[in-house]
Structure 1
Amino acid sequence: MADHLLFATERYGLPILQPLADALHARGERVHALLAGAAAGLALRGPVQPVDARGAAALRPRAVFSASNEVPTFVTGAKVQLFHGFNVEKRADGRGHFRVRGLFDLYCTQGPATTAPFQELSRRLGHFAVVQTGWPKLDPLFRDDGGAAAALRAPAAGRPVVMFASTFTERLSAAPHLLQAIAAQVAHGGRYWLLTLHPKCPPDLFDRYRALAGPNAAFVEPEQLVTAQRAADVLLADTTSVVSEFVVQHKPVVTFRNRAPKPHMLDFDDPAQLPRMLESAFAPSAALGAAIAAYADAIHPWRDGRSSERVIEAAGTLLAGGLGTLARKPLAARWRALQIRRALGYWGI
């Protein structure tokens, strides 16, 4: 039995770490969580022991699994990057999904679209390994959820279910622009709505969307995001990574002013078009279905609900030397490591 540390700095990191915590427990391992930043004060389910920075350092864990762009380098053990979302092209690669900060030993990639670029970076830089494992967050999409999705869908009473999700990035967010159009759809009542927003969206926007809850809609908190994706038939969104998560189920998505629209999306730019776009999503063409399947296979081909187990096995292979010898981390990473210490309030040796 060994100690393992889970790390997150945002609320949305918890649904990524929870399936991994469950998989570690199933193997009889000890699991601890260092939840900092916006995740501070939250907790994972089950016998997960919370620790602060000093406690994490004292643990000397076998591995640190991070659902953040960073990781506490002052903690021993393999540093494993899990990612906090798919690459949805919000930013240039140098600042976005493929930015390498020199902090991690292992990148557990979600699918071929991410694996190939990181493998190329690994060959060039040499200080980290790459294993395609799938994403722990999506494990519950493909496992028995004890009826949670059915319960969330039950108030629909047989009606089709639409889920709405939006990014917090102001220039990309659909939430302010589609509020009235969505409110009209909710009032009509022909479909049932599951509404959610990114935790970083403005509080007043949360209030306005929560106010739509009633017999035709429910507001879903971030911890219920995966359950809502299982429950819904169609997703309405923008450039949020929820689009990719939803498509993995081979379900249609409607996007509002997506930054990089693709063939698997039904993209539009005028709120008045929403009713027509939803009609198209609920009657998808064969071409759209094929595009959805192709994209899903590229970003996350695993549909067995066992990505967490593959992450654990990949970390074990790394620690056993099965992924080769890693080069030394770049000098620039030392400055980032100091910034992480400062953010976590840890200056021990």
Structure 2
Amino acid sequence: MKTVLFCQNPYAFGILEPIMEVLKEKNFPYLWFVKETIKKQFPFQNESFTSDMKEVKEFKSDVIFVPGNEVPYYLRGLKVQIFHGLAGEKKGHFRIRHYFDLYLTQGPYFTKRFLELKQQFKNFDVLETGWSKLDIYGKELHKYDTVKKQLLLKHKAKKIVLYAPTFSPSLTSASFLIEEFKKLSKQNEYLILIKFHDLMAVELIEKYKQLAKTTANIIFEEERNIIKFLLMADIMISDTSSVVYEFLLLNKPVITFKSSSKNIEWEDSNVYNNLLEKVKSNLKEDNYKEKRLKIVQQYHPYNDGKSSLRMVKACLKYISENGVPEKRKLSFLRKLKIHKIFGK
């Protein structure tokens, strides 16, 4: 099975890496497509990759795994949507753009919705596999325990607080919480890690970098894969970011500010204050522990670390039953959009 791992944004690297490992184990040939603008950020420089769509065409893939919203209709291969987050309430998550033959869903909440859409559009299939990015939860849950211990010792802290807001200007809490983090940082028992999305506004990035430079127990993290920090953190602060759900699956407390989620099973505040009190109470009492289990069961009930394997097997099964699509039928306007993004 010849496979293309299709990357338009840096967040795709961590989602597709576990699939790459499965392909390696099975000795299946694969090629990374990495958009030219993010090529310098690609972490697997020794792997086979290209930014040239002509090379992707010539590769003649059987399967294309896509954690983004678009993929060229003219490429050979089963076009597979594997998603870049777990936030079903975000605009566009359930939008059918007609680029994909197969949707591999993370859990029952998503599967139900996409099966309903399948009945409506009748031009794609849906299978529930779990999400490749979270395989590490089943395989290497304690991978960063030593790193965490060393960090806490170095900063003489007891708990790690992770701040991971969304970048969306209308939804982000980053503009309103700087003073709250200054107050929280005065409590030396907390080490605060700031992890921003790649698309966060530059002026906010600079403000928080400056805060970290002048505050001993605040670290602005540049490393792209957020999984490391999710595993190390004891509590997370956020807003309407899909990473909230990734953290909840670890059964640890979350505090959000003005979240637009429809399934809030954690503490959410409508005002940007009292962060210190909220952190203390959630770490001490953790009143939402039972409610979080509802999210786990509906959003991602797989903890065996084998979602990537299920994804690969699902594609093999589809191809054996339906063959390899040579291209995908699209409307004229959809074709124009693809030409604009990727060329003809």
Q: Return the TM-score normalized by structure 1.
A: 0.89
Aligned to 1:308: 308
Mapped partners of 1:167, 1:37: distance in 2: 25
Aligned to 2:169: 170
What amino acid is aligned across from residue 334 of structure 2 in structure 1? R
- 1:11 and 1:38 in contact (8 A); partners too: no
Mapped partners of 1:38, 1:243: distance in 2: 28
**CA RMSD, Structure 1 to Structure 2 (Å):** 2.3
Q: CA deviation at 1:257?
A: 0.8
Q: CA deviation at 1:142?
A: 2.7
Q: Call closer, same or farther: CA 1:77–1:153 in 2, change over 3 Å.
A: farther
Mapped partners of 1:325, 1:11: distance in 2: 28
Aligned to 2:31: 32
Q: How does 1:12-51 map to 2 (within 5 A)?
A: 12-36=11-35, 38-45=37-44, 47-51=46-50
Q: For 1:144, which of 131, 140, 147 is the aligned residue?
A: 140
Q: Call closer, same or farther: CA 1:261–1:109 in 2, change over 3 Å.
A: closer
- 2:66 and 2:81 in contact (8 A); partners too: yes
Aligned to 2:110: 114
Mapped partners of 2:114, 2:149: distance in 1: 38
What amino acid is aligned across from residue 314 of structure 2 in structure 1? A
2:93 corresponds to 1:100: no
Q: Call closer, same or farther: CA 1:272–1:229 in 2, change over 3 Å.
A: same
Deviates more, 1:45-54 or 1:172-181: 45-54
What amino acid is aligned across from residue 106 of structure 2 in structure 1? Q
What amino acid is aligned across from residue 304 of structure 1 in structure 2? D
Aligned to 2:274: 273
User: Is the partner of 1:290 in helix, strand or coil?
Assistant: helix
Mapped partners of 2:264, 2:17: distance in 1: 32
Q: CA deviation at 1:219?
A: 2.0
- 1:199 and 1:222 in contact (8 A); partners too: no
Deviates more, 1:111-120 or 1:69-78: 69-78
What amino acid is aligned across from residue 84 of structure 2 in structure 1? H
Mapped partners of 1:263, 1:120: distance in 2: 23
Q: Residues 247-297 of structure 1, C-alpha deviation per residue, up to 9 Å, x if partnerless?
A: 0111111001111364411011323221121122202445x1111011111
Aligned to 1:7: 6
Deviates more, 1:202-211 or 1:68-77: 202-211
Aligned to 1:241: 242
Q: Call closer, same or farther: CA 1:9–1:152 in 2, change over 3 Å.
A: farther
Deviates more, 1:149-158 or 1:177-186: 149-158
- 1:197 and 1:206 in contact (8 A); partners too: yes
Number of corresponding residues:
337
- 2:73 and 2:329 in contact (8 A); partners too: no
Q: How does 1:326-345 map to 2 (within 5 A)?
A: 331-332=330-331, 334-345=332-343
Stretches of 4+ moved more than 4 A in 1? 328-331
- 1:10 and 1:37 in contact (8 A); partners too: no
Q: CA deviation at 1:146?
A: 8.1
User: Is the partner of 1:255 in helix, strand or coil?
Assistant: strand
Q: Call closer, same or farther: CA 1:37–1:107 in 2, change over 3 Å.
A: farther
Deviates more, 1:121-130 or 1:45-54: 45-54
Q: Return the TM-score normalized by structure 2.
A: 0.91
Mapped partners of 1:63, 1:30: distance in 2: 11
The runs of 5 or more residues in structure 2 that have no matched partner are none
Aligned to 1:191: 190
Identity of aligned residues (%): 28
What amino acid is aligned across from residue 67 of structure 2 in structure 1? A
What amino acid is aligned across from residue 114 of structure 1 in structure 2? F
Q: How does 1:193-272 map to 2 (within 5 A)?
A: 193-213=192-212, 215-221=216-222, 223-260=224-261, 262-272=263-273
User: Is the partner of 1:121 in helix, strand or coil?
Assistant: helix
Mapped partners of 1:33, 1:146: distance in 2: 29
User: Is the partner of 1:223 in helix, strand or coil?
Assistant: coil
Mapped partners of 2:7, 2:324: distance in 1: 27
Q: Residues 165-195 of structure 1, C-alpha deviation per residue, up to 9 Å, x if partnerless?
A: 0111111101111112112212432211111
Aligned to 2:131: 135
- 1:35 and 1:42 in contact (8 A); partners too: no
Aligned to 2:84: 84
- 1:156 and 1:216 in contact (8 A); partners too: no
User: Is the partner of 2:176 in helix, strand or coil?
Assistant: helix
